[in-house]
């Protein structure tokens, strides 16, 4: 059984023109266009969270998306053994990327090589990828930050419906606002990792799942698996949640569940020991990459223009 946990730190990546243009050539055309069309604050996790984390650094947001695409292709290429140029990624109706061609990862119960599942998340300073053989996987990363435009109590009030009364009691038991926010984002990442594993996106009633956190504290060195999920008020042992800190502010949750095999009843996978995230460099990201399209210099112009737009806005506001 294979397992991949990769992280790329976009917060410290300032792509050169040649890096950016090369990266753009190595992803599918429609994904490149999708990244190009990204306008800050448009695709909010929640408007408030996005506003505080994204508009201040559009360059990082674009880089996160680009890195995410490269992480996906690298994983399919290196772990599933599919040449970069043959990989065809598509999205489910709810937006979850999957490998459409070649069909090498399709379930093949008799082969002894269970299908891979993968998922991406990008937020704060990192893009992360989790992939697992023989299990459904969802990943979510959240950075602990102060809300951009309201007090912490007001922020929590707006988010009331995202968590159960029990979860709020745990979140609000933190001794400081920072500890409460850290617990808030930890719960958020857990919930989102489950939603992303099942691929439903918006529309899932978040009150149906409730997390009971591991009493053991999280540290940046190890991944923990003690946190339990209750689904519809029953503890659900089919799902395992792997939690880790990439640094003191970035919390990652990986949800692992029974493989979604349409031809057979779901099997409870026996997961390998928890793996911590490996930090990749840009050279690692593109190590197996090969260009799919011609160089498009306009892509760099558009990137620079978007990256500088918030700065220009700030300057305009400052001078009026």
Ligand X SMILES: CC(C)(COP(=O)(O)OP(=O)(O)OC[C@H]1O[C@@H](n2cnc3c(N)ncnc32)[C@H](O)[C@@H]1OP(=O)(O)O)[C@@H](O)C(=O)NCCC(=O)NCCS
Residue 108 or 145: the one with the smaller Cβ distance to ligand X is: 145
250 binds ligand X (CB under 6 A): no
Q: Cα 253 from chain centroid?
A: 9
Binding residue (CB under 6 A) for ligand X from 6, 156, 185, 188: 188
Residue 38 or 271: the one with the smaller Cβ distance to ligand X is: 38
Of the listed pieces 147-155, 191-199, 233-241, 272-280, which binds ligand X according to CB under 6 A?
A: 191-199
Binding residue (CB under 6 A) for ligand X from 15, 68, 147, 257: 68
164 binds ligand X (CB under 6 A): no
Tell the smallest beta-carbon distance from residue 141 to ligand X (Å): 7
Tell the smallest beta-carbon distance from residue 167 to ligand X (Å): 9
Instruction: Determine the Cα–Cα distance for residues 46 and 68; give it in Å rounded to an integer.
Output: 20
191 binds ligand X (CB under 6 A): yes
> 3-state SS string over the chain?
CCEEEEEEEHHHCCCCHHHHHHHHHCCCHHHHHHHHHCCCCCCCCCHHHHHHHCHHHHHHHHHHHHHHHHHHHHHHHHHHCCCHHHCEEEECCCCCEEEEECHHHCCCHHHCCCCEEEEEEEECCEEEEEEEECEEEEEEEEECCCCCCCCHHHHHHHCHHHCCHHHHHHHCCCCCHHHHHHHHHHHHHHHHHHHHHHCCCCCCCHHHEEEECCCCCCCCCCCECCCEEEECCEECCCCEEEEEECCCCEEEEEEEEECCCCCCCCCCCCCCCCCCCEEECHHHHCCCCCCCCCCCHHHHHHHHHHHHHHHHHHHHHHHC
- 49 near 15, Cβ under 8 Å? no
Binding residue (CB under 6 A) for ligand X from 42, 110, 160, 202: 202
Residue 160 or 264: the one with the smaller Cβ distance to ligand X is: 160
244 binds ligand X (CB under 6 A): no
Binding residue (CB under 6 A) for ligand X from 19, 167, 192, 242: 192
Q: Which residue is nearest to ligand X (CB)?
A: 95
- Residue list 301-320, contact with ligand X (CB under 6 A): none
Instruction: Measure the CA angle with vertex 95, ends 66 and 201; round to 5°.
Output: 115
Tell the smallest beta-carbon distance from residue 17 to ligand X (Å): 22
36 binds ligand X (CB under 6 A): no
Site track for ligand X across 86-125, x = CB under 6 A: --------xxxx---------------------xxxxx--
Instruction: Determine the Cα–Cα distance for residues 223 and 211; give it in Å rounded to an integer.
Output: 17
Residue 34 or 113: the one with the smaller Cβ distance to ligand X is: 34
Residue 92 or 313: the one with the smaller Cβ distance to ligand X is: 92
Binding residue (CB under 6 A) for ligand X from 153, 201, 220, 266: 201
65 binds ligand X (CB under 6 A): yes
15 binds ligand X (CB under 6 A): no
Binding site for ligand X (CB under 6 A): 45, 65, 68, 94-97, 119-123, 140, 162, 188, 191-192, 195-196, 199, 201-202, 206
């Amino acid at each position: 059984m294979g397992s991949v946990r990769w992280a790329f730190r976009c917060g410290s990546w300032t792509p050169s023109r040649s890096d950016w243009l090369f990266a753009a050539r190595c992803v599918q055309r429609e994904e490149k266009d999708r990244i190009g069309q990204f306008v800050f604050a448009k695709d909010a996790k929640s408007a408030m969270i996005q506003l505080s984390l994204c508009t201040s650094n559009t360059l990082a947001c674009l880089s996160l998306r680009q890195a995410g695409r490269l992480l996906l292709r690298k994983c399919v290429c290196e772990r599933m053994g599919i040449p970069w140029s043959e990989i065809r990624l598509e999205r489910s109706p709810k937006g979850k990327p999957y490998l459409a061609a070649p069909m090498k990862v399709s379930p093949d119960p008799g082969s002894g090589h269970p299908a891979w599942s993968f998922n991406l998340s990008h937020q704060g300073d990192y893009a992360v990828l989790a992939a697992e053989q023989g299990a459904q996987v969802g990943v979510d990363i959240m950075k602990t930050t102060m809300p951009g435009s309201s007090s912490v109590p007001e922020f929590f009030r707006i988010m009331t419906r995202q968590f159960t009364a029990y979860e709020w009691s745990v979140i609000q038991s933190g001794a400081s606002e920072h500890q409460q926010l850290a617990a808030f984002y930890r719960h958020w990442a857990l919930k989102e990792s489950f939603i992303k594993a099942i691929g439903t996106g918006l529309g899932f009633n978040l009150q149906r799942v409730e997390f009971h956190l591991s009493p053991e504290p999280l540290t940046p060195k190890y991944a923990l698996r003690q946190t339990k999920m209750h689904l519809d008020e029953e503890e659900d042992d089919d799902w395992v949640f792997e939690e880790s800190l990439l640094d003191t502010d970035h919390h990652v949750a990986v949800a692992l569940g029974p493989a979604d095999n349409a031809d057979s009843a779901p099997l409870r996978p026996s997961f390998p020991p928890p793996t911590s995230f490996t930090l990749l460099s840009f050279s690692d990201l593109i190590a197996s990459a090969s260009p799919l399209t011609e160089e498009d210099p306009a892509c760099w112009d558009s990137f620079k223009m978007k990256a500088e737009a918030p700065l220009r806005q700030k300057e305009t506001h400052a001078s009026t």
